[in-house]
Amino acid sequence: MNEVQKLKFYQKGTLTVGNRLVDEDKRNVQASLDRSNSLTSGHRACQGCGEALGARYAIDAAMRACDSRLIAVNATGCLEVFTTPYPETSWQIPWMHSLFGNAAAVATGVAAAMRVLGKSQTRVVAQGGDGGTTDIGFGCLSGMFERNDDVLYICYDNEGYMNTGVQRSSATPPAARTATTPAVGSAPGNVFGTGKFAPKIAVAHDIPYVATASVADLHDLEAKVLKAMTFRGARYIQINVPCPLGWGAASHDTIRLARLAIETGLFPIFEAESGYVTNVRKIRRPTPVFEYLKLQKRFAHIVRGGPEDPGVRGLQAIADRHIRDYGLLEAEA
Amino acid sequence: MFQQIEGSKAMARAIALCRPQVVCAYPITPQTHIVEGLGELIRTGELQNSEFINVESEFAALSVAIGASAAGARAYTATASQGLLFMAEAVYNASGLGLPIVMTLGNRAIGAPINIWNDHSDAMAMSESGWIQLFAETNQEAADLHVFAFRLAEELSVPTMVCVDGFILTHAVERIDIPEQATVDAFLPPFEPMQCLDPDDPISIGAMVGPDAFTEVRYLEYHKQHAALGLIERLATEFQRLFGRQAGGLLRTYEAADAEILVVAMGSINGTIKDAIDEMRADGMAIGLVTLVAFRPFPGDALRQVLARATDVVVIDRAIDVGMGGPLASDIAIAMRGLPAPPAMHSAIVGLGGRPVPKASLIRLFRQAAIQPWEGPHFLDLNERVVGHELHRRRTTRRVGPAAEGILKELEKERVARLAEEAQ
User: In A258-268, which positions are buried (b, 16+ CB within 10 angstroms) versus exposed (e)?
Assistant: bbbbbbbbbbb
Q: β-strands B132-135, B102-107: how paired?
A: unpaired
Whether residue B105 sits in one domain with residue B152: yes
Q: With both helix axes pointing from N to C terminus, report the angle between A103-116 and A138-146 in degrees, rounded to the nearest 10.
A: 30
Residue A17 has pLDDT above 90, yes or no: no
The total of structural domains in chain B comes to: 3
Q: How many other CB atoms are found less than 10 A from the CB of residue B177?
A: 15
pLDDT at A6: 54
Whether residue B317 sits in one domain with residue B213: no
Give the torsion sign (CA, B192, B197, B203, B206): positive
Residue of chain A whose Cα is closest to the Cα of B21: A116
Q: What is the pLDDT of residues A262-279, one digit of tens each?
A: 999 999 999 999 999 999
Q: What is the pLDDT of residues A171-186, one digit of tens each?
A: 999 999 999 999 999 9
Q: How confident is the model over B342-359, as a mean pLDDT?
A: 97
Whether residue B319 sits in one domain with residue B189: no
Q: What is the pLDDT of residues A116-149, one digit of tens each?
A: 999 999 999 999 999 999 999 999 999 999 999 9
Whether residue B224 sits in one domain with residue B94: yes
Q: β-strands A70-74, A123-129: how paired?
A: parallel
Residues of B in contact with A115 (CB under 8 A): 51
Q: How many other CB atoms are found less than 10 A from the CB of residue B367?
A: 15
Cβ–Cβ pairs < 8 A, chains A and B: 155
pLDDT at A28: 84
Confidence of residue A25 (pLDDT cuts 50, 70, 90): confident
pLDDT at A14: 60
pLDDT at A27: 82
Q: β-strands A209-214, A123-129: how paired?
A: unpaired
- Of B199, B214, B243, the last residue of a domain is B243
Phi, psi of B28 (to 5 degrees): -155, 130
Phi, psi of A254 (to 5 degrees): -55, -50
Percentage of chain B beyond pLDDT 90 is: 99
User: Any chain B CB within 8 A of the CB of A97?
Assistant: yes
Whether residue B415 sits in one domain with residue B290: no
Measure the CA–CA gap between A13 and A25, rounded to whole angstroms. Answer: 24
What are the beta bridge partners of residue A71? A124
Q: How confident is the model over B179-208, as a mean pLDDT?
A: 97
Dump the DSSP string for B330-360: HHHHHHHTT-SSPPEEEEEE--GGG----HH
Whether residue B185 sits in one domain with residue B292: no
- Name residues 125-184 of chain A within 8 A of B (Cβ): 139-140, 142-143, 146-147
Whether residue B143 sits in one domain with residue B290: no
Percentage of chain B beyond pLDDT 70 is: 100
A140–B208 CB contact, under 8 Å: no
**Residue A330 in contact with residue A282, Cβ under 8 Å?**
yes
Measure the CA–CA gap between B4 and B7, rounded to whole angstroms. Answer: 9
Whether residue B91 sits in one domain with residue B199: yes
pTM for the whole thing? Answer: 0.96
Residue A16 has pLDDT above 90, yes or no: no
Residues of B with CB under 8 A from a CB of A: 21-22, 24, 49-51, 53-57, 59-60, 63-73, 75, 89-90, 93, 97, 197-199, 201-210, 213
Residue of chain B whose Cα is closest to the Cα of A98: B206
pLDDT at A30: 86
Q: How confident is the model over A18-34, as a mean pLDDT?
A: 78
B197–A107 CB contact, under 8 Å: no
Average model confidence (pLDDT) across chain B: 97
Measure the CA–CA gap between B365 and B369, rounded to whole angstroms. Answer: 6
Confidence of residue A2 (pLDDT cuts 50, 70, 90): very low
- CATH, residue B364: 3.40.50.920
- Cα–Cα nearest to B159, from B107, B211, B93: B93
Percentage of chain A beyond pLDDT 90 is: 86
Q: How confident is the model over A296-301, as a mean pLDDT?
A: 98
List the domain range (segments joined by +) for residue B361.
251-379
User: Any chain B CB within 8 A of the CB of A73?
Assistant: yes
What are the beta bridge partners of residue B176? B3
CA distance A194 to chain B (A): 25
Instruction: Name the E strands within chain A.
Output: 70-74, 95-97, 123-129, 152-157, 209-214, 235-240, 270-273, 276-280
Confidence of residue A1 (pLDDT cuts 50, 70, 90): very low
pLDDT at A87: 87
Domain A3-326 grouped into CATH 3.40.630.10: no
Whether residue B311 sits in one domain with residue B207: no
CA distance A221 to chain B (A): 24
**Domain spans of chain A, in order of start:** 3-326
Residue B239 has pLDDT above 60, yes or no: yes
Residue A18 has pLDDT above 80, yes or no: no
Q: What is the pLDDT of residues B382-413, one digit of tens each?
A: 999 999 999 999 999 999 999 999 999 999 99
Dump the DSSP string for B388-416: HHHHHHHHH-S----HHHHHHHHHHHHHH
Lowest pLDDT segment from A22-26, A140-144, B131-135: A22-26
